[in-house]
């Protein structure tokens, strides 16, 4: 099957923007993706046609109610949630996690244990460290193998005890790109009687997510990482969400999902998030026929969204291989992540590297001069760079292609790096 890159790139107006005549190359996607025009249109329509507070009973308010209901349903389709009211919107993944951690904390007592991982972004670590500090809980650290860049789940077995209440892991690393075996982790945690809190921020743009199949208890992601606006989303298992005591204003509803959606929400952010899900569905319906058959158990949008992500991931895996091969050709460059061709499906296309004798921030700055956008440093994956022994030396350069990037952009990056690396080393 051919990949219709032209049709996809046409959806993203920012991809054709130039600065001083030079086309932009967006490899900063793990920090935030570009948005398709249907998302811009949806947000604009929301602000023009539905701009009111909710439950007012007049035209614009009724429309705002509809925007909100549609957004919850869209995210339920995206994550294969059992119902739309298990979807909680909020400012971003970090804020949602800090918020729900307060309610989870009300179920814990001193001495209870939380497992966090050395592979995670700090947004799935710091909230639990803070909770542990407040409640005298014990934190246990799940390490990763710094040669394979993967967890050894035998290590998790050693950490789980009858006191473990929560296991917090990322579905995909924002630094190494490793995709973790979340389903196996959740099964182990469940067998030990613990809940699981999954950070799927970096998985969501690349791989279809099915919270029912994963059998997790909480899963958080951010729409601005999957081609939508700045908006966080948390899914929680209904029984748990209903059993927790929310931190909320007293007049606010006690029903789901409102009991966890504190204050007035970003209706336009929700409209844009629903449009991002519809964008995936559009890709699925128009281009991903070969993958639709795997999702016969789903109907309509849910089916097409999941097929679209498979279709995109196959293309992204080719991009990742191409990028890895190219980086291997540059002297002194070390990829901090999975590189084996037969393991390419165990990573997202986010590829981080260090270059002997050069500071990553200098490389990123020199690339920026050529209008090539990348990230450098630790990207809040502080524990990861510490475990890899590259914290003091300034972390990595992170190249994050997604489904709208192409090999020509990778060639431009590689050519630029070839020229830049000696300069960065001399700096
Ligand atoms: C893996 C991961 N988790 C969490 C976050 C934080 O997301 P947010 O900005 O929505 O709080 C990020 C942001 O880069 C991330 O990459």
Share of the chain above pLDDT 70, in %: 100
Note the pLDDT tens digit of each residue in 72-108: 999 999 999 999 999 999 999 999 999 999 999 999 9
Note the pLDDT tens digit of each residue in 405-420: 999 999 999 999 999 9
> pLDDT tier at 427 (50, 70, 90 boundaries)?
confident
Domain 40-277 has CATH 3.40.50.720: no
* Ligand 1 contact via 28 beta carbon (within 6 Å): no
> pLDDT tier at 282 (50, 70, 90 boundaries)?
very high
Q: What is the mean pLDDT of residues 291-299?
A: 97
For residue 394, the model assigns a pLDDT of 98
For residue 1, the model assigns a pLDDT of 66
Domain extents in the chain: 5-35+307-426, 40-277
* Substitution candidate for ligand 1 out of 32, 91, 121, 350 with most atoms within 8 A of CB: 121
Which atom of ligand 1 is nearest the CA belonging to 224?
10
Which atom of ligand 1 is nearest the CA belonging to 230?
10
Give the Cα separation of 33 and 150 in Å (integer). 25
Per the listing, tokens 């336009």 go with: 268
Note the pLDDT tens digit of each residue in 156-199: 999 999 999 999 999 999 999 999 999 999 999 999 999 999 99
Q: What is the 3-state secondary structure (H, E, C) of the chain?
A: CCCCHHHHHHCCHHHHCEECCEECEECEHHHCCCCCHHHHHHHHHHHHHCCCCCCCCCHHHHHHHHHHHHHHHHHHHHHCCCCHHHEEEECCHHHHHHHHHHHHHCCCCCCCEEEEECCCCHHHCHHHHHHHHHHCCEEEEECCECCCCECCHHHHHHHCCCCEEEEEEECECCCCCEECCHHHHHHHHHHCCCEEEEECCCCCCCCCCCHHHHCCCEEEEEHHHCCCCCCEEEEECHHHHHHCCCCCCCCCCCCCCHHHCCCCCCHHHHHHHHHHHHHHHHHHHHHCHHHHHHHCCCCHHHHHHHHHHHHHHHHHHHHHHHHHHHHHCCCCEEECCCCCHHHHHHECCCEEEEECCCCHHHHHHHHHHCCEECEEECCCCHHHHHHCCCCCCCCEEEEECCCCCCHHHHHHHHHHHHHHHHHHHHC
Note the pLDDT tens digit of each residue in 31-64: 999 999 999 999 999 999 999 999 999 999 999 9
Mean per-residue pLDDT of the chain: 98
Measured in angstroms, how far is the CA atom of residue 426 from the centroid of ligand 1? 34
Q: What is the mean pLDDT of residues 116-125?
A: 98
Q: 5-35+307-426, which class in CATH?
A: alpha beta
Give the Cα separation of 117 and 141 in Å (integer). 5
Give the Cα separation of 218 and 176 in Å (integer). 23
Q: What is the mean pLDDT of residues 324-328?
A: 98
Say whether pLDDT at 150 is over 70: yes
The residues that bridge with 23 in the sheet, in sequence order, are 18
Do 166 and 138 form a contact (C-beta atoms < 8 A)?
no
Measured in angstroms, how far is the CA atom of residue 384 from the centroid of ligand 1? 14
Other beta carbons within 10 Å of 250:
5
**Burial track 326-341 (b if 16+ CB lie within 10 A, e otherwise):** bbeeeeebebbbbbee
For residue 155, the model assigns a pLDDT of 98
* Ligand 1 contact via 202 beta carbon (within 6 Å): yes
* Ligand 1 contact via 121 beta carbon (within 6 Å): yes
Domains 5-35+307-426 and 40-277 share a fold: no
* Ligand 1 contact via 222 beta carbon (within 6 Å): yes
* Ligand 1 contact via 92 beta carbon (within 6 Å): yes
* Ligand 1 contact via 94 beta carbon (within 6 Å): yes
């Amino acid at each position: 099957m051919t990949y219709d890159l032209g049709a996809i790139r046409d959806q993203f107006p920012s991809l054709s923007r130039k600065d001083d005549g030079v086309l932009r190359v967006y490899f900063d996607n793990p920090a935030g993706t570009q948005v398709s025009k249907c998302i811009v249109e949806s947000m604009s329509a929301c602000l023009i046609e539905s701009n009111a507070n909710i439950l007012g009973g007049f035209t614009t308010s009724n429309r705002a109610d509809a925007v909100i209901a549609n957004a919850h349903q869209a995210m339920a389709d995206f994550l294969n949630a059992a119902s739309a009211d298990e979807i909680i919107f909020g400012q971003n993944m970090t804020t949602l996690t800090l918020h729900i951690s307060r309610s989870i904390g009300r179920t814990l007592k001193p001495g209870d244990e939380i497992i966090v991982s050395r592979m995670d972004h700090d947004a799935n670590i710091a909230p639990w460290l803070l909770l542990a500090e407040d409640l005298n809980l014990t934190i246990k650290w799940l390490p990763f193998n710094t040669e394979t860049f993967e967890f050894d789940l035998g290590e998790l077995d050693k950490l789980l005890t009858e006191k473990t209440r929560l296991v917090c892991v990322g579905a995909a690393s924002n630094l190494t790109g490793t995709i973790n075996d979340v389903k196996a982790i959740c099964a182990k945690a469940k067998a030990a009687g613990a809940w699981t809190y999954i950070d799927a921020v970096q998985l969501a743009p690349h791989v279809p997510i099915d919270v029912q199949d994963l059998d997790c208890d909480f899963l958080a992601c951010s729409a601005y990482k999957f081609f939508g606006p700045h908006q966080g989303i948390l899914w929680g298992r209904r029984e748990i969400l209903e059993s927790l005591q929310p931190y909320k204003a007293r007049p606010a509803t006690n029903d789901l999902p409102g009991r966890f959606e504190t204050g007035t929400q970003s209706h336009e952010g929700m409209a844009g998030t629903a449009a991002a899900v519809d964008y995936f569905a559009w890709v699925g319906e128009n281009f991903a026929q070969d993958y639709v058959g795997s999702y016969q158990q789903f109907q309509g949008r849910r089916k097409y969204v999941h097929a679209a992500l498979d279709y995109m991931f196959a293309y992204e895996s080719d991009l990742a291989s191409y990028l890895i091969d190219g980086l291997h050709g540059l002297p002194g460059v070390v990829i901090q992540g999975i590189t084996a061709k037969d393991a390419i499906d165990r990573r997202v296309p986010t590829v981080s590297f260090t270059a002997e004798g050069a500071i990553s921030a200098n490389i990123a700055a020199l690339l920026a001069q050529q209008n090539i956008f990348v990230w450098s440093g630790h990207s809040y994956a502080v524990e990861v760079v510490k475990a890899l022994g590259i914290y003091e030396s300034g972390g990595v350069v992170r190249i994050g292609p997604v489904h709208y990037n192409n090999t020509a952009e990778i060639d431009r990056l590689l050519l630029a790096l070839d020229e830049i690396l000696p300069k960065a080393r001399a700096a």
